[in-house]
Structure 1
Amino acid sequence: MTTILAFSSFAKNASTSDYQELEWIALMPPDDLQALLNPPEHLLDIQDGSALDSVDALVKQEFEDEKSKRFQQALVSTEVVETYKDKAIRIPGFVVPLESNEAQRVIEFFIVPYFGACLHMPPPPPNQIIHVKHEEGIELESIQDAFWFEGTLSIETVENDLGTSAYQLSLDNLLPFRG
């Protein structure tokens, strides 16, 4: 209950129907999505937790075959879907805090499609991460809480120690996620 009250202070009077509801895969170009859905066979042989079981290790390897190269590119792709540039969207996700103010409100964060993204390997590709700066900040009770994010999407690459995003959102509303 306190989560709803904490965010209602900056919610604008826009209706949810004013925003186009998106699934995360809509933000990924089809060729990137296909590459990630069809990984090269040799990747299936990598043992969990081994030195090769990370995005960094995969990106640094030199592959001969095109399928492996394309998969490698899709893991770090900043390619975007231009259709959503400057569009009012609504998307579910999780907060990865980047910066807080003196009042312990999160004023800069990534929106990611699943809990633990950026904190655990592998992080989502940049075209599956959205960057937000919000001057008022938001109260975040738990990074495990899912939300609906509403606002205007722009295309801008932002790099941070925790990840890289290919999109940015001017946040209008933040609401608890209810599937």
Structure 2
Amino acid sequence: MRSYWLCIFLLLPLWLEAAPRTVDWLDLLPQEDYQAMLDMPEIGHEGTEELPGDFSSSMRQRDENLPEVMYSTRVVSELDGEELRIAGYPVPLESNAAGLYTSFFLVPYAGACIHVPPPPPNQIILVDYPRGIAIDDIYEPFWMSGKLNIDQTSNELADASYRFEADKVWVYDGE
């Protein structure tokens, strides 16, 4: 019995080190952007009309009434190459032959491309998940774990400051 506990005691640090650290979206903001977000007035989204499922237009539109922090590409360089876990909402981009999404944006709140201003680029993560996942509802959050990289990416839909090489993606379960 003694050797059992000794083994657990010796292996526990390795197990804890192997688990990816869970981060929050605010952890992706450099200090100056974090403070600017805290000081920002609430943003309304009235007056925008899109069809449900139309992801093609609003994430790239610039609203001159929004503060500059809403367009920030500044990043937290210490996170580059880190194995992390984060939860967010998908914005589908590319699917494989089986109809599973292998590329999507992850954003901090639901409907970021429909009826609400998009998050700033440093709050958008381009996710690569070669295994693919079904995304039936963009209002259903997902957890993912893998490697976060700083990678300024731009496509017709949005700009992203981070890229995530996902090892695992699963429906948000609270923990």
TM range (shorter): 0.7 to 0.9
AA aligned to 1:120 is H
Specify the alignment match of 1:38 in structure 2.
39
1:19-168 equivalences in 2 (<5 Å): 19-39=20-40, 48-49=46-47, 56-58=62-64, 72-168=67-163
Shift of 1:39: 2.9
Pair member with larger Rg: 2
List alignment gaps of at least 5 residues for structure 1: 1-13, 62-70
Aligned length: 149
SS in 2 for 1:132: strand
Shift of 1:15: 8.3
**Contact 2:46–2:115 at 8 Å: present in 1 too?**
no
**Contact 1:119–1:162 at 8 Å: present in 2 too?**
no
User: Following the alignment from structure 1 to structure 2, what is the Cα–Cα distance between the partners of residues 93 and 56?
Assistant: 23
User: Following the alignment from structure 1 to structure 2, what is the Cα–Cα distance between the partners of residues 48 and 87?
Assistant: 38
- What RMSD over aligned residues (CA atoms) do the two structures have, in Å? 2.7
Q: Quickly say closer, same or farther: Cα 1:49–1:141, change in 2 above 3 A.
A: closer
Percent identity over paired residues: 37
TM-score (norm 2): 0.74
SS in 1 for 2:150: strand
**Contact 1:101–1:107 at 8 Å: present in 2 too?**
yes
Q: Quickly say closer, same or farther: Cα 1:38–1:90, change in 2 above 3 A.
A: same
Deviation per CA, 1:56-113: give whole Å up to 9, x if none.
232xx7xxxxxxxxx7321111100011110000001111101112221112100111
User: Following the alignment from structure 1 to structure 2, what is the Cα–Cα distance between the partners of residues 175 and 17?
Assistant: 19
Specify the alignment match of 1:68 in structure 2.
none
AA aligned to 1:93 is G
Moved over 4 A (4+): 14-17
